[in-house]
Chains A and B, each alone.
Chain A
Amino acid sequence: MLSPRDWWSCDGQGGRESKRPRHATPASATAWPDVEGFTRRGVLATFGLAALAWAMPRTALSQVAVSPESNGNVLVCVFLRGGLDGLSAVVPYADDDYHRARPSLGLGAPNDRNAAGRTLKLSDTFGLSPALGALMPLYESRQMAVVHAVGSRDQTRSHFEAMNAMERGLAAPGEGDASGWLARHLAARPASTASPLRAVAFGGVMPDSLRGAPGATAIQKLEDFRLQTRDAQSARARLGKLYADGTDEMAVAGRETLSVLDTLNRLDVTGYRPQNRAAYPTTGFGQGLRQAACLIRADVGLEIASLDMGGWDTHVAQGTAVGWLPTLLQELGDSLAAFAQDLGPTMRNVTISVQTEFGRRVAENAGLGTDHGRGSVMFLIGGGVQGGQVHADWPGLAPEKLEEPGDLRVTTDYRDVMAELLSARTPNPAIARVFPGHRPKSLGLIKAS
């Protein structure tokens, strides 16, 4: 049986695949071959200057102009790995076809007689899973919006392919740029500061969305990001001298890293006390958000926090009011609610997006789970969000309305949501480069700050 934590554990047809590596993968600017780089070096070579190429400063940072344009807004991008069953998280309780397709796994209307399976009312058609109850106050105070029947155009229903497309900001995998959409966002956007902590992936794995990001850092635990030497202070001082004045890319990277270390040293990371009596779950995801809050409060120039939460590949026995999926939803909701409560008024500058690579089959399977599908949900919480709404161009769940072989149609392109988020919250002059070939539609989900 598949373990709840093995989001990578299946091949989409019930077979077993293997886990994602637990360590950081490097960021990459471009896939090989680096055509642009070739041309640049080619020009140098043509003029007999090849030997000079490495004397010229060409660093990741030097390509990012420093300007005071930041408005201090932070994006917190949460990726639910494995394919969240959107129909269980945000239930179309008014759709009879839903109850027909989910005789065992379905949740009921907010006024359902069965108290355990009753959803929380979002609208006349949608109800929130009770496991996500912690988010209800945010929805009611219009700080949270839901997007339903949302996803990418990738139809492979393979975790690998679907995430590949989404994290690279593409319609479908296997085309276009190998760099991540967040990386291109950072590169296109004038940097407010040269902060070494512009983009941080909490959890130790650098997600593909940040592949190629200038200065993105993957951090498992803030307190573990340190020099592992007997006398770290003297090591820091000696490295400072070694890296004092080089202009080659690795020397610059070294200085950046030392600056990250200094920043983290100044913060009392272990002593960080959440405010407003916020209580984070002790899980990896909850603690990741706690660390993100710590960095946001410390005002160290963080622009993007990226967090992963795995385990959503619920092929068997996913549960309704209790069980595998509700447990995960509870962890998700409690963690996000704690984060919002901790930051309090600071949430005006912080916007959370929650996405997943695909939704799941409308009909439950014989193992009381659900197989890989298409449309799912996204959550938007915090600054700028036009909350208190479920945005859905609802395609319906009647058999003839489904996409073969029985999936919720994707009627909202996830790129429209992300493009609106970026345009409204962070000044980005080149959205077209972040989502190549895509002309974003306005959804009215985020207002400009």
Chain B
Amino acid sequence: MAAAAALSGCARVANRIGGAEIPSRLDAPAQPTSARRLTERLGFGARPGDLAQVESMGHAAWIRQQLAADQPDPLALGLQISRIDALRIDGNELRDQPQEGTIRQIQRATLLRATLSPNQLRERLADFWVNHLNIYARKGHAAYRLATDVEHVVRPHALGSFLEMIRGSSRSPAMLAYLDNTRNTNLGPNENYARELMELHTLGVDGGYTQRDIREVARCFTGWTLENRFLRPRGRLAFNPAIHDDGAKLVLGQVIPAGGGETDAARAVEIILAHPACARFISRKLAAHFLATPEGPAVVAAERAFRESHGDIRATLGPILTPEALLGAPPIVKRPLDYVISSLRAVAAETDGGPPLLQHLDAMGQPLHEWPMPDGFPTDAAAWSGSMLARWNFAYALVNGGISGTSTPMGRITDRGEGRTLAGVVPIRDAARDPNPVVQATLALCQPEFMWR
């Protein structure tokens, strides 16, 4: 309700019809009910019935439950995930399988979890961190190494220790190969990983490090490569002292003495993680993701929480994920993944997450793990302005049974008791109203305001 109060002075005036707020003006994304806003901010949107549950629990309690992320996943999800080869089999053995299938399996796991897990915040954060530590699945053998990175580096720490996540990432074969550390040697240094470690992963481009620091960190990482010796487990992380630069280094003003060998890299990571820019950069990025802005009192508090908790993500999120901050923040554009999952959830679709569904994400321009640059999929609306036709075609296919392996229970769509909303979740404006419930549901998902969260 804080949002309604905050917005009462501006141009938007909401009508209350049938329990849902319908925007009376069409020139801006709809003013959502508070519960709907929360489910879209913390997770991927509401399933039928979710909004009533959030209201009855109370906003603060529901947020606490999401932060705890300890609800059991439904059996159906567990069963589907447990059958995905790419998640079960060691990456180095996956190489016998076609790369295309491996990428599809990893994408499928993300889709199923985001759609079906009650721990919505955890799944949103998994997506956030996967993009934060982006790896391009089609560079080299990345596809085969990717699942290990997602399952063992990112997901365990999505709501846990940022420091552990970065330590893990700095030893992740997928990451080190993607950012060319396999070519980083004492004779031919490659600064790619060192640069992105500071610019994108920890300190931010204005984080106060210099070109010299990049060079020095790169020196610390020389020699870290992937095993390719005969009869050794190929593709594992390996340290080759012969190509390590063992001289003294100066990283962010701190000396790493000569002779450190394989401890240099870990030492450099610790120096970087302890730098004040790290707390600032990460809390700002988290705030931007949930509140659309990296400024304001919530961010200041988050930065302090990050420092005091030594990078605990749950603690850092505390000041950001308050009902007041979340409901008062401007809307954020849904990336294609957000749009697809929130649509699936709104109509309570059943899905196997297979290629026919994934192809829609491809068409919208967000094939998961296939963003070539290390900065992850863009977040700004302008980046996604080309995806509208693909979104509409997806909405139509979803509601009209056009996606094999995905079905929409018609009872949800034709629910007369909630005539002004789609399954009680998406408000329907006049221009989307239609006597044919299938047409109406399609148009509801196509509304401009449903492109925002």
Binding site for B on A (CB under 8 A): 8, 11, 15, 17-21, 23-35, 37-38, 41-42, 44-46, 50-55, 59-60, 160, 164, 174, 178, 206, 208, 212, 214-218, 225, 227-230, 235, 238-239, 241-254, 256-257, 260-261
| 12 other A-B residue contacts (CB within 8 Å) besides A31-B373, A208-B372 | A18-B138, A24-B363, A26-B377, A26-B383, A41-B295, A46-B295, A51-B3, A53-B292, A59-B382, A247-B28, A251-B448, A257-B388
**Chain B residues whose C-beta falls within 8 Å of the C-beta of A19 in the assembled complex:** 138
| Contact B204–A250 (Cβ < 8 Å) | no
| Contact A55–B285 (Cβ < 8 Å) | no
**Chain B residues whose C-beta falls within 8 Å of the C-beta of A217 in the assembled complex:** 386
| Contact A45–B382 (Cβ < 8 Å) | no
Query: 8 Å CB contacts to A: which residues of B323-341?
Result: 328-331, 333
Smallest Cβ-Cβ distance to B379: which chain A residue: A32
Q: Measured between alpha carbons, how far is A24 from B360 in the docked complex, in Å?
A: 11
| Contact B378–A242 (Cβ < 8 Å) | no
| Contact B448–A54 (Cβ < 8 Å) | no
Q: Tell whether A160 pairs with B378 under 8 Å between CB atoms, given A41-B293, A42-B294, A227-B393.
A: no
Q: Tell whether A250 pairs with B382 under 8 Å between CB atoms, given A45-B293, A51-B6.
A: no
| Contact A248–B452 (Cβ < 8 Å) | yes
Q: Measured between alpha carbons, how far is A17 from B178 in the docked complex, in Å?
A: 11
| Contact B384–A238 (Cβ < 8 Å) | no
**Chain A residues whose C-beta falls within 8 Å of the C-beta of B213 in the assembled complex:** none
**Chain B residues whose C-beta falls within 8 Å of the C-beta of A249 in the assembled complex:** 333, 381-382, 385
- How many A-B pairs have beta carbons closer than 8 Å: the answer is 222
**Chain A residues whose C-beta falls within 8 Å of the C-beta of B402 in the assembled complex:** 228
| Contact A174–B365 (Cβ < 8 Å) | no
Smallest Cβ-Cβ distance to A53: which chain B residue: B330
> Does B11 reach chain A (CB closer than 8 Å)?
yes
| Contact A24–B365 (Cβ < 8 Å) | yes
Q: Kindly supply a per-residue 1/0 record for chain B positions 152-164, scoring 1 wherever the CB is within 8 Å of any chain A CB and 0 otherwise.
A: 0000000000000
Smallest Cβ-Cβ distance to A163: which chain B residue: B372
| Contact A45–B296 (Cβ < 8 Å) | yes
**Chain B residues whose C-beta falls within 8 Å of the C-beta of A164 in the assembled complex:** 373
With both chains docked as a complex, state the minimum distance between the C-beta of B384 and any C-beta of chain A, in angstroms. 6
**Chain B residues whose C-beta falls within 8 Å of the C-beta of A250 in the assembled complex:** 29, 333, 381, 384-385, 388, 448, 451-452
Q: Measured between alpha carbons, how far is A206 from B366 in the docked complex, in Å?
A: 12
| Contact A174–B195 (Cβ < 8 Å) | yes
> Does B165 reach chain A (CB closer than 8 Å)?
no
> Does B206 reach chain A (CB closer than 8 Å)?
yes
| Contact A21–B138 (Cβ < 8 Å) | yes
Query: 8 Å CB contacts to A: which residues of B284-324?
Result: 284-285, 288, 292-296
**Chain B residues whose C-beta falls within 8 Å of the C-beta of A24 in the assembled complex:** 362-363, 365, 386
| Contact B367–A228 (Cβ < 8 Å) | no
Q: Measured between alpha carbons, how far is A244 from B430 in the docked complex, in Å?
A: 12
Task: Name the contact of A216 in the complex, choosing from B6, B29, B329, B386 (C-beta under 8 A).
Answer: B386
> Does B205 reach chain A (CB closer than 8 Å)?
yes
With both chains docked as a complex, state the minimum distance between the C-beta of B185 and any C-beta of chain A, in angstroms. 14
> Does B272 reach chain A (CB closer than 8 Å)?
no
Query: 8 Å CB contacts to A: which residues of B5-51?
Result: 6-7, 10-12, 26-29
Binding site for A on B (CB under 8 A): 3, 6-7, 10-12, 26-29, 99, 138-143, 191-192, 195, 200, 204-206, 281, 284-285, 288, 292-296, 328-331, 333, 362-367, 370-373, 375-389, 392-393, 396-397, 400, 402, 429, 431-432, 434, 439, 443, 446-448, 451-452
Q: Measured between alpha carbons, how far is A46 from B381 in the docked complex, in Å?
A: 23
Q: Measured between alpha carbons, how far is A21 from B371 in the docked complex, in Å?
A: 9
| Contact A160–B389 (Cβ < 8 Å) | no
Q: Measured between alpha carbons, how far is A45 from B443 in the docked complex, in Å?
A: 34
With both chains docked as a complex, state the minimum distance between the C-beta of A446 and any C-beta of chain B, in angstroms. 30
Q: Measured between alpha carbons, how far is A178 from B134 in the docked complex, in Å?
A: 15
Which of B139, B200, B443 lies at the interface centre, i.e. has the most chain A CB atoms within 10 A of its CB? B139
| Contact B139–A215 (Cβ < 8 Å) | no
| Contact A17–B139 (Cβ < 8 Å) | yes
**Chain B residues whose C-beta falls within 8 Å of the C-beta of A252 in the assembled complex:** 385
| Contact B385–A55 (Cβ < 8 Å) | no
| Contact B384–A26 (Cβ < 8 Å) | yes
**Chain B residues whose C-beta falls within 8 Å of the C-beta of A245 in the assembled complex:** 26-27
**Chain A residues whose C-beta falls within 8 Å of the C-beta of B389 in the assembled complex:** 225, 227, 257, 260-261
Q: Tell whether A242 pairs with B138 under 8 Å between CB atoms, given A35-B206, A227-B389, A249-B333.
A: no
| Contact A215–B385 (Cβ < 8 Å) | yes
Q: Tell whether A33 pairs with B204 under 8 Å between CB atoms, given A24-B365, A26-B383, A51-B7.
A: yes
| Contact B27–A246 (Cβ < 8 Å) | yes
| Contact A212–B382 (Cβ < 8 Å) | yes
**Chain B residues whose C-beta falls within 8 Å of the C-beta of A18 in the assembled complex:** 99, 138-143
Smallest Cβ-Cβ distance to B377: which chain A residue: A26
| Contact A244–B380 (Cβ < 8 Å) | no
Smallest Cβ-Cβ distance to A253: which chain B residue: B385
Task: Name the contact of B362 in the complex, choosing from A23, A243, A253 (C-beta under 8 A).
Answer: A23
With both chains docked as a complex, state the minimum distance between the C-beta of A262 and any C-beta of chain B, in angstroms. 12
| Contact B373–A218 (Cβ < 8 Å) | no
Task: Name the contact of A51 in the complex, choosing from B200, B330, B367, B370 (C-beta under 8 A).
Answer: B330
**Chain A residues whose C-beta falls within 8 Å of the C-beta of B292 in the assembled complex:** 41, 53-54
Which of A15, A26, A239 lies at the interface centre, i.e. has the most chain B CB atoms within 10 A of its CB? A26
Q: Measured between alpha carbons, how far is A352 from B333 in the docked complex, in Å?
A: 36
| Contact B385–A60 (Cβ < 8 Å) | yes
Q: Which 10 pairs of residues, A with B, have the shortest CB-CB distance? A: A28-B378, A54-B330, A253-B385, A26-B365, A249-B381, A23-B362, A250-B451, A251-B448, A257-B388, A28-B383
With both chains docked as a complex, state the minimum distance between the C-beta of A213 and any C-beta of chain B, in angstroms. 9
| 18 sampled A-B residue pairs with Cβ under 8 A | A38-B288, A41-B293, A42-B294, A45-B295, A50-B329, A50-B330, A59-B382, A60-B385, A214-B382, A215-B386, A218-B386, A238-B431, A238-B434, A239-B443, A247-B28, A250-B333, A250-B451, A252-B385
Q: Measured between alpha carbons, how far is A216 from B26 in the docked complex, in Å?
A: 26
**Chain B residues whose C-beta falls within 8 Å of the C-beta of A208 in the assembled complex:** 372
Task: Name the contact of A21 in the complex, choosing from B329, B367, B439 (C-beta under 8 A).
Answer: B367
| Contact A242–B432 (Cβ < 8 Å) | yes
**Chain B residues whose C-beta falls within 8 Å of the C-beta of A34 in the assembled complex:** 379-380
| Contact B446–A239 (Cβ < 8 Å) | yes
**Chain B residues whose C-beta falls within 8 Å of the C-beta of A253 in the assembled complex:** 381, 384-388
| Contact B28–A33 (Cβ < 8 Å) | no
| Contact A256–B378 (Cβ < 8 Å) | no
**Chain B residues whose C-beta falls within 8 Å of the C-beta of A178 in the assembled complex:** 373, 375
**Chain A residues whose C-beta falls within 8 Å of the C-beta of B294 in the assembled complex:** 33, 38, 41-42
| Contact A241–B431 (Cβ < 8 Å) | yes
| Contact B28–A174 (Cβ < 8 Å) | no
| Contact B448–A248 (Cβ < 8 Å) | yes
Smallest Cβ-Cβ distance to B376: which chain A residue: A32
| Contact B447–A242 (Cβ < 8 Å) | yes
Smallest Cβ-Cβ distance to A246: which chain B residue: B448
Q: Measured between alpha carbons, how far is A24 from B386 in the docked complex, in Å?
A: 10
Q: Measured between alpha carbons, how far is A229 from B434 in the docked complex, in Å?
A: 16
**Chain A residues whose C-beta falls within 8 Å of the C-beta of B367 in the assembled complex:** 21, 23
With both chains docked as a complex, state the minimum distance between the C-beta of B372 and any C-beta of chain A, in angstroms. 7
| Contact A23–B363 (Cβ < 8 Å) | yes
Task: Name the contact of A25 in the complex, choosing from B29, B140, B372, B381 (C-beta under 8 A).
Answer: B372
Q: Measured between alpha carbons, how far is A51 from B192 in the docked complex, in Å?
A: 39
**Chain A residues whose C-beta falls within 8 Å of the C-beta of B387 in the assembled complex:** 26, 253
Q: Measured between alpha carbons, how far is A190 from B353 in the docked complex, in Å?
A: 44
| Contact A160–B372 (Cβ < 8 Å) | yes
Q: Measured between alpha carbons, how far is A252 from B206 in the docked complex, in Å?
A: 33
Smallest Cβ-Cβ distance to A39: which chain B residue: B295
Task: Name the contact of A33 in the complex, choosing from B195, B285, B295, B365 (C-beta under 8 A).
Answer: B285
**Chain B residues whose C-beta falls within 8 Å of the C-beta of A35 in the assembled complex:** 205-206
Smallest Cβ-Cβ distance to A46: which chain B residue: B295
Task: Name the contact of A31 in the complex, choosing from B365, B375, B452 (C-beta under 8 A).
Answer: B375
With both chains docked as a complex, state the minimum distance between the C-beta of A18 and any C-beta of chain B, in angstroms. 5
With both chains docked as a complex, state the minimum distance between the C-beta of B420 and any C-beta of chain A, in angstroms. 16
